[in-house]
Structure 1
Amino acid sequence: MVDLVVRSRRVITIGGEVPAAVAVRDGRIVAIRPYAAEVAASADVDLADTVLSPGLVDTHVHVNEPGRTEWEGFATATRAAAAGGVTTIIDMPLNSLPPTVDTAALAAKQAAATGQCHVDVGFWGGVVPGNAARIPALHAAGVFGFKAFLADSGVPEFPPVDRDQLAEAMAAADALFLVHAEDPGHLREATSSAAYADFLASRPAVAEHAAVATAIEVARAARRRVHILHLSAASALPLIARARADGVRVTAETCPHYLTLDAAAIPDGATEFKCCPPIRDAANADQLWEALAAGLITCVVSDHSPCTPELKRQDTGDFAAAWGGIASVQLGLPVIWTAARARGFPLADVVSWMATGPADLAGLEHKGRIAVGADADLVAFDPDAEFVVDAHALHHKNPVTPYAGRTLRGVVRATWLRGFPVAGGAPGGRLLTRGS
């Protein structure tokens, strides 16, 4: 007897898409049987031709609570995640107050999250000037790694580090280090303007290229793992490829907005499209897709970074003054599937980029896959259904998104977290620590 069986003619497993019956006991997958197999179960769900996917893992989410809960909070962010088929998020260390740069701040964030989460939640630590001595204790407390900015983060309490400070941090712990890779020496101050082209010109691709080079050089010398966050500029890809060939442990992610949006199509004043690094042109996006296909980019994550509508300066459309961040944790799966399908990629590739890849990055071997022994985090996904994005119908706190009005393909029909349906009731998410 098992607790649950979910059947589908299209189950996306580690070995590919197969008809199967997935058996769950005590929150874990205990067997994968043929689709029509008889299995004694307390509940038996037959999805027929609806896809059964592993829950997605989004390792790049800014929840902002405590301190800036009016921007976003654990209740709303995780409800949005579950509605989008995301069953695990890892929260970034900045935009909350205090930022997660020591164990006291981590404890404050964990306390704020307790009892509010509809999906499982882990935490990254932060690297800021002067906190290298606190990194070992923060690592021991269970953060999944450490994020650093090489340029201004946008919030004063999380200042950037230089090359030497990044090296000092890497020397402090044998951990994964995440780098927001933009070189301040190549950035130009954005002038007040409603023209997206002016904002784009202030953050050229060479800024990413130079910062990626710095991150790789420091990681090479320190013999540490380094992960390049939200890669926008395809010109940096050869650097990553060469470093990997040389044995440097470097990985990279990108985001739905860099893969699917085109700078040339962004209207003037449409500050909902502002993010850093910026959305670039369609040819650049083509190269990012090629890097995904080649395995050079291993993860697609949201970089969900919301704020209040007022901070987006939609009244003036001033890109220089607007907060940079895109809210998309609920929409990443249909956004990427719509584009991937048009380019000829199978859904299994999307699952690899958005579930297995991020889980592997964070060392969550029991997440992001349908396999015996994995957590029963499951998603019923209708890949053929279409919908039009209504920002006011999304679950994140503030109804701002660059995808409003777009027709997307792929609808999440149901989400299970460790075998239990996530349907907007009492939060059932757990707080994760590294190794848990």
Structure 2
Amino acid sequence: MTLDLVVRGPRVLTPGGFAACEVGVRAGAVVAVEPLGARLEASRVIDLEDDEVLLPGLVDTHVHVNEPGRTAWEGFASATRAAAAGGVTTIVDMPLNSIPPTVDVAALALKRDAARAQATVDVAFWGGAVPGNLADLRPLHDAGVLGFKCFLIDSGVPEFGHLDAPGLDAVMRELARFDGLLLVHAEDPDAVAQAPAPHGRRYVDFLRSRPPEAETRAIELVIETARRTGARAHVLHLSSADALPLIARARAEGVRLTAETCPHYLTLTAEDVPDGATAYKCCPPIRDAANRDRLWQGLLDGTIDAIVSDHSPSTPDLKALDTGDFGAAWGGVASLQLGLLAVWTEARRRGIGLERVVGWMSSGPARLVGMARKGAVAVGHDADLVVLAPDEGVVVDPGALLHKNPVTPYAGRTLAGRVRRTLLRGEDVPGTGPTGAPRGHLLGRGDA
């Protein structure tokens, strides 16, 4: 067997767990996984150091790249470099906050044109479901989007409207016709309207403005509509653990429902947010430590399927860093480069193994979107590989982050792990290894 690359190491994460292995790569795919000592040969060989492990590349299905239109916030070049530096080899771009949003085939073509020459990791795309674009959903599906995102509350940008209950029903009925997937930002607008308005520097005041009931009510609506229509639904960025029993019960009853959460909900707590620290602001919000514990339990018992970043950056002025006003600040946490390390740090503290973390951040998201070639170091999969030193500590320096506006709530924190090398289809991603200059592929539904 002629191989292009062999990676050898005492700790390779295979679908069966960590093992001492040699991984053989040919034409960008894993073609052999043999016990260490098998003496696979290739023109290139990587021998892992004793403190390194080999992991499958992460799949982040919730990334706001914002290009075109709001490229000052983020862009494909900066976002994909940051992804690779964090061990992420595949991202799925959200349909907002770009201008135009990805709500029709013409807008999808603009997104793909913007990404094509800049992506250093693989990129796929979500479409949007908004008032008035029901007739565009099937054409977007046929053009390759992986599914559709909607909001049940104001999205924060005027060009991406939110669905009311009849609109949600109409969209789910349409998607059920071709088994499309609907992603839902699930917060109830009436519950938020009845809460105190966010204002000022105190985080507790902002937290009260987005109560847990807002998520619970919205998720109840999603469940009822999915049950009635037979459509597939996915709850985005679950923040409130109060909704976990609803999700578990609905799934047990056969409702086609999945859910994700994010690193910031698993690693940060409301108690730790300093007043005026608007880098922590996101919607739904970071809640208290007891809620965080329950989210971890939801992962462990399988109620939550995946951990993804919801990387939602903006320019520093929009984060109101100068005033610290939570009411005025843009709501979004930028963590694309730091997600693996942040989650691993907290998981290790809780006695949870790295293999579970990678399952939630790689194979879990890949399974959600049907990427059969992603998410595992296994024969037949793309050779998207990450070399991680899991015991090395890293102090987060915002100046070392590669996304365009390095505002982060993790600044100054010590995180466990360092990504030393990222490979996409067996080639080093620029800036993360000594050789090669691979380009990411643009993926459609069923391409990976």
Secondary structure of residue in 2 paired with 1:232:
coil
Q: Are 1:180 and 2:185 an aligned pair?
A: yes
Say yes or no: does 1:192 pair with 2:199. yes
Offset, 1:395: 0.2
> Relative to structure 1, is the Cα distance of residues 427 and 154 closer, same or farther in structure 2, using a 3 angstrom cutoff?
farther
Q: Could you tell me how far apart the structure 1 residues matched to 2:181 and 2:106 are?
A: 21
C-alpha distance in structure 2 between counterparts of 1:158 and 1:400, whole Å: 24
- Give the conservation status (yes or no) of the 8 Å contact 1:87–1:377: yes
Post-superposition offset of 1:427: 5.2
Matching residue of 1:234: 241
Deviation at 1:48, TM superposition (A): 3.7
Which segment drifts farther, 32-41 or 233-242? 32-41
* Letter of the 2:63 counterpart: V
Tell me the residue number matched to 1:67.
Answer: 69
User: Which residue identity lines up with residue 341 of structure 1 in the other structure?
Assistant: R
CA contact (8 A) 1:53 1:379 kept: yes
Give the match for residue 78 of structure 2. Answer: 76
Separation (CA, whole Å) in 1 of partners of 2:108 and 2:223: 28
1:362 and 1:36 map into 2 onto residues whose CA distance is: 36
Secondary structure class of the residue paired with 2:409: coil
The answer for the alignment partner of 2:227 in structure 1 is 220
SS in 1 for 2:248: helix
Displaced runs of 4+ in structure 1, greater than 4 A? Answer: none
Could you tell me which amino acid in structure 2 is paired with residue 433 of structure 1?
G
Query: 8 Å contact 1:143–1:433 — kept in the other structure?
Result: yes
The 8 Å contact of residues 117 and 427 in structure 1, kept in 2 or not, is answered as no
- Counterpart Cα distance in 1 of 2:127 and 2:430: 30
Alignment pair present for 1:250 and 2:257 = yes
SS at 2:345's partner residue? helix
1:399: which partner in 2?
406
Q: TM-score, normalised by structure 1?
A: 0.99
Q: Give the Å deviation of 1:91.
A: 0.4
Q: What CA deviation, in whole Å up to 9, does each residue of 1:93-125 have, x standing for no partner?
A: 010000000000000100111110010000000
Contact 2:427/2:438 (8 A) holds in 1: no
Percentage of pairs with the same residue: 64
User: Is 1:346 matched with 2:353?
Assistant: yes
Aligned mates of 2:62, 2:165 — CA distance in 1: 23
Cα distance in 2 for partners of 1:202, 1:87 equals 36
Q: Indicate the residue corresponding to 2:309 in structure 1.
A: 302
126, 129, 134: which is aligned to 1:127?
Answer: 129
Corresponding residue for 2:273? Answer: 266
In the TM superposition, residue 190 of structure 1 has moved relative to its aligned partner by: 2.5
1:53 maps to 55
Structure 1: unaligned runs, 5 residues or longer: none
Rounded to whole Å, the distance in 2 between the matches of 1:201 and 1:370 is 44
Preserved CA contact (<8 Å) 1:186 1:207 = yes
Contact 1:7 1:48 in 2 (8 A): no
What is the deviation of 1:192?
Answer: 2.5
Where does residue 431 of structure 1 map in the other structure? Answer: 442
Distance 2:198 2:149 in 1: 28
**Deviation of the 1:189 alpha carbon:** 5.7
Alpha-carbon distance in 2 for matches of 1:191, 1:322? 10
Amino acid at match of 2:280: F
Q: Which of 307-316 and 162-171 deviates more?
A: 162-171
SS, match of residue 235 in structure 1: helix
| Contact map agreement 2:168 2:225 (CA 8 A) in 1 | yes
Is 2:99 aligned against 1:92?
Answer: no
Q: Specify the code of the residue in structure 1 equivalent to 2:337.
A: Q
Shift of 1:73: 0.1
Do 1:376 and 1:419's aligned partners in 2 also have CA atoms closer than 8 Å?
A: yes
Query: CA RMSD, aligned part only?
Result: 0.9
The structure 1 residue matched to 2:215, chosen from 208, 224, 229, is 208
Aligned counterparts of 1:161 and 1:413: Cα–Cα separation in 2: 43
What TM-score does the superposition give when structure 2 sets the normalisation length?
0.96
Q: Is the 8 A contact 1:302 1:332 kept in 2?
A: yes
User: What is the SS of the residue equivalent to 1:353?
Assistant: helix
TM-superposed CA distance for 1:423, in Å, is: 2.5
Q: Look up the SS of the partner of 1:118 in the other structure.
A: coil
**1:415-426 correspondence runs (5 A):** 415-424=422-431, 426=437
SS at match of 1:348: helix
Question: Which residue identity does 1:163 align to in structure 2?
Answer: A
- Contact 2:428–2:437, Cα closer than 8 Å, also in 1: no
Question: Which residue is 1:326 aligned to?
Answer: 333
CA–CA distance in structure 2, aligned partners of residues 184 and 95 of structure 1: 20
* CA displacement, residues 355-379 of structure 1 (integer Å, 9 cap, x when unaligned): 0000000100100111110000000
How many Å apart are 1:7 and its aligned residue?
A: 1.0
Q: Is the 8 A contact 2:25 2:32 kept in 1?
A: yes
Distance in 1 (alpha carbons) for counterparts of 2:391 and 2:285:
31
Q: SS state of the match for residue 138, structure 1?
A: helix
CA–CA distance in structure 2, aligned partners of residues 48 and 324 of structure 1: 40
Describe the SS at the equivalent of 1:355.
helix
**Alignment check: 8 A CA contact 1:115 1:427 kept:** no
Instruction: Tell me the residue number matched to 1:30.
Output: 31
Secondary structure at the residue paired with 1:359? helix
